[in-house]
Structure 1
Amino acid sequence: MDNKYRPIGVFDSGIGGLTVLKEIIKEMPNESTIYLGDTARVPYGIRSPETVIRYSLENTHFLYSKDIKLLVVACNTASSISLDSIRRTVSIPVVGVIEPGAKAAVRTTRNKRVGVIGTEATIRSSSYEKSIKSVDRDIEVYQLPCPLFVPLVEEGWVEGEIATMVAEKYLLDMKDIGIDTLVLGCTHYPLLKGVISKVMDKEVTLIDSAVEVAKEIKEILETSDLKKGYQGGALREFYVTDLPERFVIVGERFLGSSIEHIEMIKL
C-alpha cells in the first residue's frame, strides 16, 4: 500500500483519547484512522511506570501490525512515561499529547503564568511543567489535579449546576493566582470547556491538547509527504479490550459521531 493511504493509529487507556481522534478527523477528514481503547486495564494512572510501558508497547505492537503510518499516544499517563520506549520500538512518527499542548501554552501566555489541570497521576508526574520549562524556564506553572472531572464527563454531566459547582471548587484559587493560560491536561476535559470558560476570566485562554496534537500531526504528514489528500474514502476502525457496548454509548458523545466498526480484542 502507498504510504499516504496507510491509516493513523491512536491509542488510549480508554475513552478519553476520542477527543484527540475527533480533532484529527476534523483537521484531516480524508485520513483513515484506527483507534484502540485499552478498556480492560483503564486507568493507567494507578499503575507503575514499568506496567504503563508494557501496556503501551502492547498497544503499539497491535496498531503497528495494522500498517499504520503514524502513531498517536492519546493518553497523558502513557505520553509522560512511554514515549521514548515506543519511539525506540517503531520506525514511524510517534506523537504524544503533552508536548504539543505545552508548546501551545508557551506561545500563548503573555504574563508567563500558566495553569495546568489534569488527573492526579498527570499532575504528580509534572510532565507539562517540565515540557513548558524546557522551552521557557521563566514561565511560572501552577498545577492542579481535578479528579472529579473524569467521572462527570463519563456520566454526561458536562454542563449545569453540578458541573459548575465542581469546576468552581477546583478552579477559583487558580483564577485568583492570575494565570492567563490554562492547559486542559486530560483528554476528557475538552468536554468541560464551556463550564471551565465560565469559571475562569475571559482573558484566560484554554489550551486543548487535542487540537494541538491534530495540528502537529498534519504538519508531520505534510513535511514527510505522507498526507493522503482527497483520494478515496476514509475508514474508521475501533478496537477495545473490554466492554464494547459501553465504549460505544459513551464514546459517541466524546467523538460527536457514530461508532460503527468496533471489535473486542485481547492484547
Structure 2
Amino acid sequence: MTVQPLSRRYRAIFISDLHLGTRGCRADFLADFLRRTDCQSLYLVGDIVDGWRLKRSWYWDETHDEVLRLILAKAKNGTEVTYIPGNHDELFRAWMPMEFAGVKLRAHAEHTTADGRRLLIMHGDEFDSVVRYARFLAVLGDWAYTAALVVNRWFNAARRRLGYPYWSLSQWLKRQVKEAVKAIDRFERALAQEARRRGFDGVVCGHIHHAEMREVDGILYLNDGDWVESCTALVEHMDGRLELIDWAALNRLSHWRDQPAQRALPAAA
C-alpha cells in the first residue's frame, strides 16, 4: 500500500460497513485513512463490528485493534463520535441510547451541514426487505457474499504479485446482476422517502456496500459505501460541500492529487 504524506481535515466524516472481525475487512486501508484525516464529527453508520461472523468463528488481528484505537483516540481528542449500529452489530441496539469512552450510541442521528442542510443518518437495514422479513435468506446471502470475498482476496493477491492494482471482483459481479441494480434503486428510493417524511433534506446510510450520492426526487441520497470492497467514505468539507472519497483508488496513485476518484456535491447556494 502506498503511504501518502498529506492529511486532510474535514467538518464531518461518515463511514460504515467496516465489518471488523472478518478477513474481508480492509482494516489496513481504514487505519491509514483514520490516521491521515481529522474531523469535528465522525459518524459510524453501522456494521462496524461483524457480530454475525464472530459468533461462528473468531477472527481479529492487530490492525483491527488499531482501527478501534484510532477511533477512540479521536473521541478522546475532541471529535464528536456517533455510532449507529447496523444489522451485523445489532447486539448493541439493546444498549441504546448510551455513551462509552466518548462514543455516543444511537439508533439514528441528525447532522446539519455548514450550509444548513439537515441530514438523517441511519444504517438502512430497516428498509431492506430481505433483512427485515427473511433473516434466513439474509444469512444465506451473507455466506455467498463471504465466499465471493475469499475469491476476491486471492484474486487480488495474484494481481498484486503481477504488479496490477486492487480491483473489486464482488463489486463487478453485483453490477452485472440486473436484479441487484433494481434492488439498489428500490433501497435508495425508500431511504429518500423516509428522509422526506421526517422533514430532512437528505439521508446518509450504508448497508448495501454501494457508495453513491445523488438526488432522489429532490432529496439527497448519500451512501458512504464500505471498507470491505470499495474502501470509501463520505466527507463534509468546511464549507458544507459533500464528497465521496475512494481511499483504495487514492492509494493506487503515487502522489496525492486534488481530484482523484472522487465525486462531490457542491455546497448549497
Bigger strand fraction: 2
TM-score bracket for this pair, using the shorter chain length:
0.3 to 0.5
Q: With CA pairs under 8 Å and 6+ residues apart, which has the higher RCO, 1 or 2?
A: 1
Structure 2-normalised TM-score?
Answer: 0.34
Bigger helix fraction: 1
Structure 1-normalised TM-score?
Answer: 0.34
